[in-house]
């Protein structure tokens, strides 16, 4: 979400601003996504064929090296994120957290995804011969995991079910909110370094603006159902395609292409929705007051 201006309370001039301007962090964002693409897409696609056919290494060693690079980069990112939440001076923990071990919603899902991917890769590598097809599954599995999580939490929010436990900054007993909202809160606060002030600002914006609530709900279904559908379809394709090498290429490229398309659509969608929210803010506040 992009909104300029310092953090302030809501007024008639516009909705409560979010203390983040993505235009000021373009270089950092490009660098981070470049590293993610390099280790999670390009490296497996280049290393596996290069080592197996170019260097004439065994299938197991070739797949193990590419998987090890992915695992090492993921562990590094997970370790950095864990430390930011765990350290005693942390300013990015959820507002409901009373313990250094109370990680946020995104962190637990990150851990679950890492465990699932690790199990799949280990099983694939221990087969004789190693299963190239199974080592192509991780991106699709993550699409299903994230998509299913967003859909389930979205349904709970739609039904106005109350949380039996705290979910990031929302304490137990409050109604569920769309999963995409919580993920935005966690990622920007921790990985983006915006801290607790962003968590508070985002939740105040959500509570104050009906248009923002509708945007978040629509984005939740867009990414949830989109990711779930793409993940399931791709898993079925990978399981049935004849060539394992072709399956490997599909498995490590199609999810990223899909995510890129969804991200571009989301960017223009959000910009348009936020402009409309700002333009109609005064009128919507008059309606609320009446």
Is residue 7 in a domain?
A: no
Return d(Cα 283, Cα 275) in angstroms, integer.
Answer: 14
How far is C-alpha 261 from the geometric centre of its chain's CA atoms? 15
Q: 175 by DSSP, 3-state: which? A: strand
**What secondary structure letter does DSSP report for 129?**
S
Return d(Cα 137, Cα 244) in angstroms, integer.
Answer: 11
pLDDT, residue 164, reads 94
pLDDT, residue 75, reads 92
Overall number of domains in the chain? 1
Tell me which residue has tokens 């005693």: 88
Return d(Cα 276, Cα 86) in angstroms, integer.
Answer: 39
CA-nearest of 1, 38, 30, 43 to 209 is 1
Is residue 115 in a domain?
A: yes
Return d(Cα 160, Cα 153) in angstroms, integer.
Answer: 10
Is residue 218 in a domain?
A: yes
- pTM passes above 0.75: yes
pLDDT digits (tens, 9 = 90+) for 16-26: 888 887 777 67
Sequential DSSP letters for 177-229: --HHHHHHHHIIIIIS--HHHHHHHHHHHHHH-HHHHHHHHHHHHHHHHHHHH
pLDDT digits (tens, 9 = 90+) for 192-219: 888 999 999 999 999 999 999 999 999 9
Is residue 4 in a domain?
A: no
Both tokens of residue 6? 């310092």
Regions of the chain short of the pLDDT cut 50: 1-10, 287-290
Cα distances from 37 to residues 77, 226, 247, in angstroms, run 14, 20, 19
Is residue 9 in a domain?
A: no
Is residue 35 in a domain?
A: yes
pLDDT, residue 290, reads 42
CA dihedral 263, 266, 271, 275 (to 10 degrees): -170
Domain range for 94: 22-281
pLDDT, residue 11, reads 53
pLDDT, residue 4, reads 36
Is residue 10 in a domain?
A: no
Is residue 8 in a domain?
A: no
């Amino acid at each position: 979400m992009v909104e300029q201006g310092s953090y302030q309370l809501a007024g008639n001039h516009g909705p409560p601003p979010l203390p983040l301007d993505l235009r000021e962090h373009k270089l950092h964002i490009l660098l981070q996504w470049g590293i993610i693409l390099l280790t999670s897409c390009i490296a497996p696609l280049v290393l596996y064929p290069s080592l197996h056919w170019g260097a004439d290494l065994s299938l197991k060693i070739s797949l193990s090296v590419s998987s090890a690079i992915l695992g090492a980069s993921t562990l590094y990112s997970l370790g950095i994120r864990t430390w930011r939440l765990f350290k005693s001076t942390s300013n990015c923990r959820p507002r409901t957290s009373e313990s250094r071990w109370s990680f946020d919603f995104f962190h637990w899902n990150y851990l679950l995804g890492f465990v699932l991917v690790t199990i799949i890769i280990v099983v694939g590598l221990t087969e004789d011969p190693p299963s190239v097809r199974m080592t192509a599954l991780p991106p699709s599995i993550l699409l299903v995991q994230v998509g299913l999580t967003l859909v389930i939490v979205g349904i709970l929010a739609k039904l106005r079910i109350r949380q039996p436990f705290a979910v990031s900054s929302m304490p137990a007993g409050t109604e569920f909110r769309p999963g995409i909202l919580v993920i935005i809160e966690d990622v920007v606060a921790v990985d983006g370094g915006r801290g607790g002030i962003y968590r508070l600002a985002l939740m105040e914006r959500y509570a104050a603006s009906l248009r923002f609530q509708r945007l978040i709900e629509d984005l939740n279904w867009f990414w949830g159902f989109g990711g779930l559908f793409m993940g399931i379809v791709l898993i079925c394709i990978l399981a049935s395609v004849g060539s394992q090498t072709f399956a490997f290429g599909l498995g490590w490229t199609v999810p990223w292409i899909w995510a890129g398309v969804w991200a571009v659509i989301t960017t223009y969608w959000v910009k348009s929705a936020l402009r409309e929210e700002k333009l109609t803010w005064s009128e919507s506040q008059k309606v609320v007051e009446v």
